[in-house]
Structure 1
Amino acid sequence: MSHKKGSWVHLFLLLIVILVLIWSLIKPVEGYGVLLMEISPSVLVLLFLIARYNHFRFTTVSYVIIALLVILTFIGGHYSYAKVPLFTWIKDYFDLKRNDYDRFGHFLKGLMVIVIIELLVRKTALLKSKTTNFIAVCIVLAIGALYEIIEWLSTKLGHEGKSTKDFLGMQGDIWDSQKDMALLLVGSILSLFFIKILYKGLDKSRQ
């Protein structure tokens, strides 16, 4: 993919993300408090990537992953993770105990391992190897654990009101954080099967 064509694809992805963001801001189900807590990290990452675009440009594979994960966050913020309609329907149809949109989101966040590997290969002395893949998985898990700690701190530094409970999205499961981390790990490991796609993209970007 040429540099110019890649830029147009990236712009298209950004446009889609912005449209979903605008939609998420329109009458969020649980109010703007929950929405802002859920989408703020993604918005900050998005602004950082835009600001650094001319200085460091990821491959299109990584931008597709980032766009997908950001959109998932905006959808979760709009409805609150426990009330995303499709997964509420799945819950009711299969007689499940909870809405599993947050579980689905944590599983897909494992795709971030591909973005981390690209960053490591391009910006450090690390080469394409199983060791690099392992380090990337560890970094993704560390990011996931940090987010779980932030969620926990939100209950300790503030008051445990409705907004905080909606932000946590535990739905009565005391093992919610552990299950989220387990799914993140599984998602990260499975994502490594697609790593050759990233490496092909990296090789082309260097030609």
Structure 2
Amino acid sequence: MLERDKGATIDLLLLLLVAGVFIWSAIQPAGYLIWTMEVLPAVILLIFAIATYKRFRLTTLSYIIIAILAIIMFIGGHYTYSKVPLFNWIKEHYDLKRNHYDRFGHVLKSLFAIVIREILIRTSPLTNGKWLFTATLSMTLALSALYEISEWLFSVITKSGKTSKDFLGMQGDIWDSQWDMLLAFIGSILTLLIFSKLHNRQLRKKM
């Protein structure tokens, strides 16, 4: 019971942190259309997590990951991914060709593989092993590809010039989408290799 109460407290603190960053993000962003498009996936994910909390409560690790991903997207939505100040400073300091916040964001988004892994373990016949690893990796890559397609569709449908350019965040790199998916692939493998044991321990306490 104490362990469960501790977990609920952590979950509440994560929610308050994410809500605070969301409010900050909505105050005078680079543009409200680009902000809406960037934060919408995170908002949908958070609504789903909150709505299913009582009947399908995830592990603390999964909620920490969801919070990290939401914050990453809220920051990207506020400044646009290609203009986040810290990464502009890194770009100038190290004489880089681009702001790498979007690359950094896609590496962190691969952490979502743990959330997918948990859902598969708890709702499918899959157990720990190569098929669980393969299915989790495949679904993570599918989500990454879907996100890239949604960015492309937005630019095609809206034809809103600068907003579309900021949303795509290519920064002159014609292989930007391929880089993003490659980083998601590599990041997902590392995520599963690094965090699966910790995830298993948390799952054993819950199941």
Fold-level match, TM-score > 0.5? yes
| Alpha-carbon distance in 1 for matches of 2:23, 2:156 | 31
Residue 133 of structure 1 aligns to which amino acid in structure 2? Answer: F
| Alpha-carbon distance in 1 for matches of 2:183, 2:149 | 17
Equivalent residues in 2 for 1:1-207, closer than 5 Å? 2-28=3-29, 30-193=30-193, 194-206=195-207
| Alpha-carbon distance in 2 for matches of 1:131, 1:204 | 23
TM-score norm. by structure 1 comes to: 0.97
Segment drifting more, 155-164 vs 65-74? 155-164
Instruction: Report the CA distance between 1:165 and its aligned residue.
Output: 0.8
Instruction: Report the CA distance between 1:160 and its aligned residue.
Output: 4.1
| Alpha-carbon distance in 1 for matches of 2:150, 2:117 | 25
How many residues align? The count is 205
| Alpha-carbon distance in 1 for matches of 2:31, 2:157 | 21
Identical residues among aligned pairs (%): 54
Output the aligned Cα RMSD: 0.9
Instruction: Report the CA distance between 1:4 and its aligned residue.
Output: 1.6
Segments of 4+ moved more than 2 angstroms? none
TM-score norm. by structure 2 comes to: 0.97
Instruction: Report the CA distance between 1:202 and its aligned residue.
Output: 0.3
Residue 6 of structure 1 aligns to which amino acid in structure 2? Answer: G
Matched residue SS, 1:57? coil
| Alpha-carbon distance in 1 for matches of 2:160, 2:24 | 28
User: What stretches of structure 1 of length at least 5 have no aligned partner?
Assistant: none
Tell me: higher relative CO, structure 1 or 2? Use CA pairs within 8 A at least 6 residues apart.
1
| Alpha-carbon distance in 2 for matches of 1:41, 1:192 | 23
Instruction: Report the CA distance between 1:130 and its aligned residue.
Output: 1.8
